[in-house]
Chains A and B, each alone.
Chain A
Amino acid sequence: MPHGQDATINSDGTQLTSEAELDRLDRKVRGIAFWRTLLFVLGIVLVGQWVERSRSYSLADVSEIKHGGYGLSLAKIPERQEGTFRVLMLGNSVYQGSHVGRNFRKFAEQEGRAIEFLNLAQTGANISDYPLALGWALSQDSKPDAVIVSLGSFTFSDLGFLFNTDAHQLAYEPGVRAVVPGSFYERHFDRTDAANGLINVASPLRRLDTPLQYEADKAALKGLKDAGYDASWLASELPLPKLNLVLNEFADDRKRGLQPEGAAWLNRPFKDDARETFEELLAMIERSGAAIFVIRQECREYPISGEALDLVTGAMDREWGVPVTFVDYESRWDDELFMDQIHPVRDYLEGYARGHYDEFIGFLDRVGLGDRIPMTAGEQFGGD
């Protein structure tokens, strides 16, 4: 006998009598379930692909911090032009969304230097994302002359769970696999990561979920406000994505009754293999023949992880043998210029980029590459 009373009831409420009828119903329902499930899956895949494509942006025009939907895997590295000096930029949201690449290009043009800046920075990227972004560019025969590796407050901390960059998707690109060391894959891609990467490849909705929820929340709040009810008090109380992790975490800590000093930021676990990954990254750059320029993104000690701060401000040079350039904004730090303690405010974007650009050009001069930069009459190259 079949299990469950409802097995003998037809969908229209009539009683089924024979085994044959029950079997027929079973086959029919299984068929319906199969095709509906399949359609559902196809829908998720198609919607995900469509959303990613509609949200992706060209490397030539980034004007704001983009979470999740970078679409790096969809972009194409432009062909290398004769008579240019090509620079790849690795970093996180500061380099991605604070007009750093755009301003670099502007400064180079003003100075008549034919430098092509390709900005591979991704919001929320940490050290594990860097080799994959670089591997993706190298696999497309990008032939860089120099690579800027910018290190942020959380580059070496384990924050991958908070962000969904393109890294997992890029990891599946055959070209990337050929360039990134196998040891990196072994350390970073356990079964769960590999499975999540595959899901991201099939449907980027998983990766884009946070920014999409953010936009939906914004739209809903606006709708409610237009209808006469201001629900912003509730939105600020719920742990909804604010797309600013510092604010997000501080708000949650406040709700938990913790002081900001107790915020998880200060105690984020430092990645065990941070140094190994970093050295793999440097080795990849070296193999490509490009010069390596490591620079620290400015941030105050608060709320940066003390361990990370120590590393990027001295220990890396001392212990890892990697010189890190540091633009000393600390001594003239102004909260008004870094409202969220990490990203420069709009009015300060150019000033911020200027400090970095000058250091980079100084570095090229020091290593003897300054003379190799072709001079132009103001042509435009690449972009961020």
Chain B
Amino acid sequence: MLFNSWLFWSFFISLYLVYLRLGRRGQNWLCLIGSYVFYAAWDWRFLGLMLLSTVIDYWVGRGISAASDKAKRRALLVCSLVSNLGLLGFFKYYDFFSESLRVALERIGVEADPVLLHVILPVGISFYTFQTLSYTIDVYRGTTKAAKNPFDFALYVAFFPQLIAGPIERSSRLLPQIQNPRRLTHDHLRRGVWLILYGMFMKVAVADNLSVYADGLFGSPSPEGFEVWVRVLAFMFQIYGDFAGYSAIARGVASLMGFSLMVNFNAPYLSVNPSEFWQRWHISLSSWLRDYLYIPLGGNRGGIRSGCRNLMLTMLLGGLWHGAGWNFILWGLYHGLLLIIYRVLGSFFGSKRDGQEPLRESVVRRVVGVLRRVCLTVVFFVLTLYSWLLFRCHSLGDVLDKTRDGFRFGAEWTASDQVLLQTVLVLIAPVVLLDLCIHRFGGNNFMTRAPLLVRWPIYALMFVWIYLVGVRGGAQFIYFQF
């Protein structure tokens, strides 16, 4: 049941009409049943996995909460970590590591034939596993109270708008919304409508249109020179439109029901440095990695060397989270390297003012500040562009080939190259415009604060654009594979 399908909207509207007529407990029950139906629509067999994860973490949460003995609390936490990461490791990484081991052994002359399971990756497993893990860790740390009602907790794990591809919610945010009375306001409705429209626009009008150009990176004859980078640019905005679109629709749907999900994207391509980028791109994952991996590893407390090591390890695992493939590992390492370079050369790249308004000292300083920001944005944009080449490639060989092809600038600039560039620019122009508005007016919800006479014409324009150029057929969201 894809967000960009009639089936999903028929499901949601049917559920929503009943939802609006129920009290809070009834709403929670309806959402829970609806969430299981939503998940079972992908593959009902994997519903058991999610239920298993739910039961274990509920039980662990209650156990930690009741235990006074530190050792017992720790043992319960380990139980949760092992079971959740075990499930994730088995379904997502077993084949990858087995095959990698076989290749490595073969290189040193040892013949091995490990059993490959060829299991299908249960959709959304990376997302709900991280969500439940954050719950047990928070209960262990004492920052969240263990849920008493198992069905409230089950809804926290399975809440359908964000179940398949996030945002990865924290228990401290989502659980209270499930447990406490919710009141629907005009603002919820306004925000919901806007986010759904924005998300659909990003998905069907931008991402799905760009996908054919991004796919051309691996076309035949192989593109060379500038064409490589135009196609990577197409992928850069395809993946952004795809994932940010999904997150926005998830937040919009939740908002219509009176929930508030966390912002997952905040104009990431306007970042001036890698640190800012990770505060703007897939925020729910990057903040998860920060809170549950980077900081527990020691963060930047042990000096520059250990800080860099922790950064690299965090980004490596962040890359691996996206999928069992060397390209994802390389992508993580590349971003880790950028973060380390930024940290080491921090004084050259700029201070903490980068993400803020320029100082109001003089017109000249303000202009210089803006120009500096623009220049840094462009530089970092180019560095990010290359990271998407790593992400899109299938193997290390691909990375080397495409990088080499990208720097073969001898080919003649043809009319079809011109049309390719024009088309990609036309498709990404509205995204850049929207991102500038998000950046300037403070977040994704900026449009809901606009006057009616501004808001509705823009909605109409976006709707018309979606209708005219939107790709039909319910194309899959890229992040479902993670």
A-to-B contact residues, CB < 8 Å:
1-4, 6-7, 9, 11, 22-23, 25-26, 29-34, 37-38, 40-41, 161-162, 191-192, 195-196, 199, 206, 209-210, 213, 216-217, 220, 233-234, 237-241, 252, 255-259, 262
Contact A4 B7 (CB under 8 A): no
Question: Nearest A residue to B1 by beta-carbon distance?
Answer: A192
Contact A256 B219 (CB under 8 A): yes
Within B20-62, which residues are at the interface with A (CB < 8 Å)?
20-21, 41
Let me know if B417 is at the binding interface, CB within 8 A: no
Contact B13 A237 (CB under 8 A): no
Question: Nearest A residue to B258 by beta-carbon distance?
Answer: A3
Contact A238 B469 (CB under 8 A): yes
Contacts of B216 in A (CB 8 A): 255-257
Instruction: Tell me whether A258 and B185 are in contact in the complex, defined as CB-CB below 8 angstroms, given that A34-B21, A213-B467 are known contacts.
Output: no
Given contact pairs A3-B258, A37-B17, A195-B10, enumerate 7 new A-B contacts (beta carbons under 8 Å).
A6-B187, A11-B186, A25-B183, A29-B186, A37-B13, A256-B216, A257-B221
Contact A257 B220 (CB under 8 A): yes
Contact A213 B468 (CB under 8 A): yes
Let me know if B189 is at the binding interface, CB within 8 A: yes
Instruction: Tell me whether A237 and B41 are in contact in the complex, defined as CB-CB below 8 angstroms, given that A26-B184, A29-B189, A38-B17 are known contacts.
Output: no
| Contact of A199 (CB < 8 Å), options: B7, B221, B259 | B7
Contact A258 B6 (CB under 8 A): no
Contacts of A238 in B (CB 8 A): 209, 423, 469
Contact B10 A32 (CB under 8 A): no
Interface 9-residue window, one of B173-181, B299-307, B357-365: B173-181
Contact B212 A256 (CB under 8 A): yes
Most buried by A among B6, B182, B423, B473: B6
CB distance from A159 to the nearest CB of B (A): 12
CB distance from A360 to the nearest CB of B (A): 37
Contact A1 B180 (CB under 8 A): yes
Question: Nearest A residue to B416 by beta-carbon distance?
Answer: A254
Question: Nearest B residue to A32 by beta-carbon distance?
Answer: B189
| Contact of A209 (CB < 8 Å), options: B10, B187, B472 | B472
How far, in whole Å, are A216 and B472 apart by their CA atoms in the complex? 14
Contact B7 A196 (CB under 8 A): yes
How far, in whole Å, are A30 and B16 apart by their CA atoms in the complex? 10
Q: Mark B406-427, 1 if CB is under 8 A from A, else 0.
A: 0000000000000110110010
| Contact of B419 (CB < 8 Å), options: A38, A233, A239 | A233
Instruction: State the main secondary structure of chain A at its contact with B.
Output: helix
Which A-B residue pairs are the 7 nearest by beta carbons? A257-B219, A6-B187, A2-B183, A26-B183, A257-B216, A34-B20, A255-B212
Contacts of A255 in B (CB 8 A): 212-213, 215-216
Let me know if B471 is at the binding interface, CB within 8 A: yes
How far, in whole Å, are A239 and B181 apart by their CA atoms in the complex? 46
Contacts of B10 in A (CB 8 A): 195, 199
27 pairs, A vs B, C-beta closer than 8 Å: A1-B180, A3-B183, A3-B260, A4-B185, A6-B185, A6-B187, A9-B185, A22-B183, A25-B183, A26-B184, A29-B184, A29-B185, A31-B20, A33-B20, A37-B17, A41-B13, A162-B473, A192-B7, A192-B41, A206-B6, A216-B467, A233-B422, A234-B422, A237-B420, A252-B212, A256-B216, A257-B217
Instruction: Tell me whether A33 and B184 are in contact in the complex, defined as CB-CB below 8 angstroms, given that A3-B260, A252-B212 are known contacts.
Output: yes
How far, in whole Å, are A4 and B212 apart by their CA atoms in the complex? 41
Let me know if B256 is at the binding interface, CB within 8 A: yes
Within B200-256, which residues are at the interface with A (CB < 8 Å)?
208-209, 212-213, 215-223, 256
Question: Nearest A residue to B467 by beta-carbon distance?
Answer: A216
CB distance from A297 to the nearest CB of B (A): 25
Question: Nearest B residue to A6 by beta-carbon distance?
Answer: B187
Contacts of A32 in B (CB 8 A): 189
Contact B473 A161 (CB under 8 A): yes
Most buried by B among A4, A195, A233, A252: A4
Contact A30 B419 (CB under 8 A): no
| Contact of B220 (CB < 8 Å), options: A41, A199, A262 | A262
Contact B423 A37 (CB under 8 A): no
Question: Nearest B residue to A30 by beta-carbon distance?
Answer: B20
Contact A37 B16 (CB under 8 A): yes
CB distance from B233 to the nearest CB of A (A): 15
Question: Nearest B residue to A195 by beta-carbon distance?
Answer: B7
Question: Nearest A residue to B255 by beta-carbon distance?
Answer: A4
Contact A240 B469 (CB under 8 A): yes
Contacts of A11 in B (CB 8 A): 185-186
Contact B7 A239 (CB under 8 A): no
Contact A258 B219 (CB under 8 A): yes
Contact A29 B188 (CB under 8 A): yes
Instruction: Tell me whether A210 and B472 are in contact in the complex, defined as CB-CB below 8 angstroms, given that A30-B20, A34-B21, A38-B17 are known contacts.
Output: yes
Contacts of A216 in B (CB 8 A): 467-468
Contact A220 B184 (CB under 8 A): no
Question: Nearest B residue to A162 by beta-carbon distance?
Answer: B473
Contacts of A241 in B (CB 8 A): 472
| Contact of A7 (CB < 8 Å), options: B185, B217, B420, B468 | B185
Contacts of A239 in B (CB 8 A): 208-209, 212, 471
Contacts of A2 in B (CB 8 A): 180-183
Question: Nearest A residue to B222 by beta-carbon distance?
Answer: A257
Question: Nearest A residue to B37 by beta-carbon distance?
Answer: A191
Contact B419 A237 (CB under 8 A): yes
Question: Nearest B residue to A257 by beta-carbon distance?
Answer: B219
| Contact of A257 (CB < 8 Å), options: B208, B223, B469 | B223
Contacts of B472 in A (CB 8 A): 209-210, 213, 241
Contact A191 B185 (CB under 8 A): no
Question: Nearest B residue to A258 by beta-carbon distance?
Answer: B219
Contacts of A233 in B (CB 8 A): 419, 422
Contacts of A195 in B (CB 8 A): 7, 10
Contacts of A234 in B (CB 8 A): 422-423, 426
Contacts of A199 in B (CB 8 A): 6-7, 10
CB distance from B445 to the nearest CB of A (A): 10
How far, in whole Å, are A6 and B215 apart by their CA atoms in the complex? 43
Contacts of A240 in B (CB 8 A): 468-469
How far, in whole Å, are A240 and B176 apart by their CA atoms in the complex? 45
How far, in whole Å, are A162 and B420 apart by their CA atoms in the complex? 25
How far, in whole Å, are A34 and B6 apart by their CA atoms in the complex? 20
Contact B220 A237 (CB under 8 A): no
How far, in whole Å, are A34 and B472 apart by their CA atoms in the complex? 28
Contacts of B13 in A (CB 8 A): 37, 40-41
How far, in whole Å, are A323 and B326 apart by their CA atoms in the complex? 54
Question: Nearest B residue to A161 by beta-carbon distance?
Answer: B473
Contact A4 B419 (CB under 8 A): no
Contacts of B470 in A (CB 8 A): 213
Contacts of A6 in B (CB 8 A): 185, 187-188
Contact B17 A256 (CB under 8 A): no
Question: Nearest B residue to A221 by beta-carbon distance?
Answer: B468
Contacts of B217 in A (CB 8 A): 257
CB distance from B356 to the nearest CB of A (A): 23
| Contact of A3 (CB < 8 Å), options: B182, B220, B422 | B182
Contacts of A38 in B (CB 8 A): 17
CB distance from B312 to the nearest CB of A (A): 35
